[in-house]
Structure 1
Amino acid sequence: MTFNYASQIIMAAFFFTLFSFCSWYEGSEILDNHWEWKHSTYFSGDHVIDAHAISDLDYFVYAAKFRPMFPVLMTLTASYIILLTGYRFFKSSIAKKALFLSSFGVLFLFAGGIVSNSPTIGGGIFQAIFLMGGLLLILAAALSYFWKPSWFKTES
């Protein structure tokens, strides 16, 4: 493991943790908004009658719906860690790297389809990020597989 790769992973993990705590804190606002319990408590169940019955994971759902800045940063940081790890595993094979990128792009497009019906501001932002990210990943996969400029050399 090179120092460059390890330092990137450590920094990304630090920022992911930081953004997770910020998202969790902002999502704890759901405890005060009892009218939103019916729509944002996917992990606690549909019939939450007490604030103590709300799961901590539902804080992230609420934050993603109504305060999406830190959940978006969490998603981007997690995606960076996954892409960095995939690049590290598949750097010797262009075909495997293209397959990895296109699979991740399809996963992003699928996630964009899942959140496409959300009426909240966070749902719209996540839909846009997932759709643009998925298209960019598929484009990157196609370019890395088909476009071989004369100056391009694969690492051995």
Structure 2
Amino acid sequence: MSYKWLFQASLAFIILLFSTGASWYEGSGILENPWEWGYSTPVTQLLNVELNHATDISQLDYFVYAAKFHPFFPVIMFISGIYLFILLGYRLLQKNHKRFSYFAFGVGTLLLFLCNIVSNSPSIGADIFFKIMLSGGIGLISVAFILYFQVFKTIWLKYVS
């Protein structure tokens, strides 16, 4: 196992854990803002729980609240999670660049789809997430095309010469 890969994965995982804890702490501010319960609790509403008390709010809604109003740590959490996911995909598919290009294209497409979901939100955090997902999706799709055609070019040159 490569030490470079292990170092990158460990660092990304530690940053993910730290930023998750910080986001969870910042998102607990929703308990003190009952006027936001109707707008920042999609997980609780999805579970059909009637919000009468602060204890009724799902812990996952803390992350939604933090992403909307305190986006620094949720953005770090998102970026480190995506980086760790791509790093694991690269490690598993490093022998086959063509499959990794498919993987990168799929992750880029997923980011563009998620970007479309948060595009209409008026909050500052959603705007930041929109920009990060848009640039990440376009970047990953570009990398996927470069890798795919680089492999295609290498294979084509072998047959031609």
Return the TM-score normalized by structure 1: 0.91
2:9 paired residue number: 9
Deviation at 1:147, TM superposition (A): 3.4
- Measured on the aligned residues, the alpha-carbon RMSD in Å equals 1.5
Deviation at 1:126, TM superposition (A): 0.6
Q: Deviations over 1:83-127 (max 9, x none)?
A: 111111111112101101000000000000011111100111111
Query: Which of the residues 115, 130, 134 maps onto 1:131?
Result: 134
Q: Deviations over 1:102-155 (max 9, x none)?
A: 0000000000001111110011111111111100000011111113699xxxxx
Percent sequence identity over matched residues? 43
Deviation above 3 Å: which 4+ runs of structure 1? 147-150
1:154 paired residue number: none
Unaligned runs of 5+ in 2: 155-161
Q: Tell me, in whole angstroms, the C-alpha distance in 1 between the residues paired with 2:21 and 2:41.
A: 19
Return the TM-score normalized by structure 2: 0.88
After TM superposition, the structure 1 = structure 2 runs for residues 1-156 of structure 1, keeping only pairs within 5 Å, are 1-45=1-45, 47-147=50-150
Number of residue pairs the alignment of both structures matches: 150
Q: Tell me, in whole angstroms, the C-alpha distance in 2 between the residues paired with 1:133 and 1:47.
A: 37
- Contact kept, 8 Å, 1:38 with 1:47, in 2: the verdict is no
2:159 paired residue number: none
- Contact kept, 8 Å, 2:50 with 2:56, in 1: the verdict is no
The letter of the residue matching 1:109 is L
Larger Rg: 2
Q: Tell me, in whole angstroms, the C-alpha distance in 1 between the residues paired with 2:54 and 2:95.
A: 51
The letter of the residue matching 1:100 is F
